[in-house]
A = this chain, B = another copy of it.
């Protein structure tokens, strides 16, 4: 470990903490120096599995002056209270996606930055996928011309396996089903590729063969401020897929990857495909592009190390994390209103009003 590496703490020591700890172990730029969970059992298991010391209390972890930032992998509804505690201690925050369980909480987390002079980063790792970066580079260089339409899909078979004792069974716990669980990742990726989002139209369906009450099909249309448009589909009752197709005036790019290797991102490039089709017609003129190896989890943690070292924000910002949540809210409102287009700004305005005058739930 380099002496220049940034020391981080991690709170919430479940499965995901191990994925990130493994990614951190490959980096010279950061070191996870200390963990914490309220559960003694989890602390012991993590310390044993990962060979990283654990603090006995949150206070002890936050009192360590060497630790510049804290990684949160706690459940979504704990993001706000834990983030407040971390921010008060003057540490930067990395929180897993979504930024919070509600947009109101997400906006309050975003506000911690100004109040406590810290930065909040959200782990929307999908935008760091090498294929997605290559598409963005082709947009920025002008290679594929003005972006017209983006189509994305993120699907898996989760709803085929739901049981009433899992939280995803319930409509209020997983609103929109794959909308809030999968599509939201694509909302962030498309926000990255297409720019500011203006309005949203959405449709949902429930085809569950097991009788779950949650919706299991999600289809969302978006209009960007640029005038371009997009579709995000998510099916919770089929084999897994993650894909992005982008139509530009000079080229079309298609990216598809094997979600089964998501937890081992250094293998993703081996089972991904990216092609560009230039000129008029020509499926047969497609050019397959080579995707370099990458590790989106290592990349995002190194991004967080830079945030901690420099005190500046990054593209995986709280504000962008809140946009992804706001699109979910807009989609839910559109579904309730029989497909009517919903402006993203209205969603933000309503959430802000709710923070000032709290109520149960505005969806």
Binding site for B on A (CB under 8 A): 146, 148-149, 151, 153, 155-157, 160, 201, 203, 205-207, 209, 216-217, 219, 221, 223, 227-229, 231, 233, 235, 237-241, 245, 247-249, 251-252, 256-261, 270-273, 277-284, 334, 337-341
Contact = CB atoms under 8 A, between A and B. Distances in A.
20 contacts: A149-B155, A149-B217, A149-B219, A149-B238, A155-B247, A156-B280, A156-B281, A201-B339, A203-B229, A207-B228, A217-B229, A221-B339, A237-B247, A237-B249, A239-B279, A239-B281, A241-B283, A257-B283, A258-B284, A259-B283
How many protomers of this protein does the assembly include?
Answer: 2
Contacts of A341: 203, 338-339
Contacts of A206: 227
A229 B201 contact: no
Residue from A241, A277, A334 whose CB has the most chain B CB atoms within 10 Å: A241
B252 A238 contact: yes
Given A280-B239, A281-B156, A341-B339, A207 B247 contact: no
Contacts of A283: 240-241, 256-260, 271-273
Residue from A149, A241, A341 whose CB has the most chain B CB atoms within 10 Å: A149
B258 A239 contact: no
Contacts of A256: 283
Contacts of A239: 247, 251-252, 277-282
A342 to B, nearest CB: 9
Contact of A209 (B146, B233, B282): B146
A161 B340 CA distance: 33
Nearest to A284: B271
Contact of A219 (B155, B231, B257, B272): B231
A255 to B, nearest CB: 11
Given A260-B284, A338-B341, A228 B205 contact: yes
Nearest to A220: B221
B240 A227 contact: no
Contacts of A148: 205, 207, 216-217, 235, 237-238
B252 A281 contact: no
B238 A249 contact: yes
A84 to B, nearest CB: 37
Contact of A151 (B149, B153, B273): B153
Nearest to A271: B284
A144 to B, nearest CB: 9
A353 to B, nearest CB: 23
Nearest to A341: B339
A207 B277 CA distance: 20
Nearest to A232: B231
A331 to B, nearest CB: 12
Given A155-B252, A239-B251, A339-B340, 13 more contacts: A146-B237, A148-B205, A148-B216, A149-B155, A149-B233, A205-B227, A207-B228, A235-B247, A238-B248, A239-B277, A240-B280, A259-B283, A260-B283
A258 B273 CA distance: 18
A240 B251 CA distance: 9
Contacts of A217: 148-149, 228-229
A285 B304 CA distance: 35
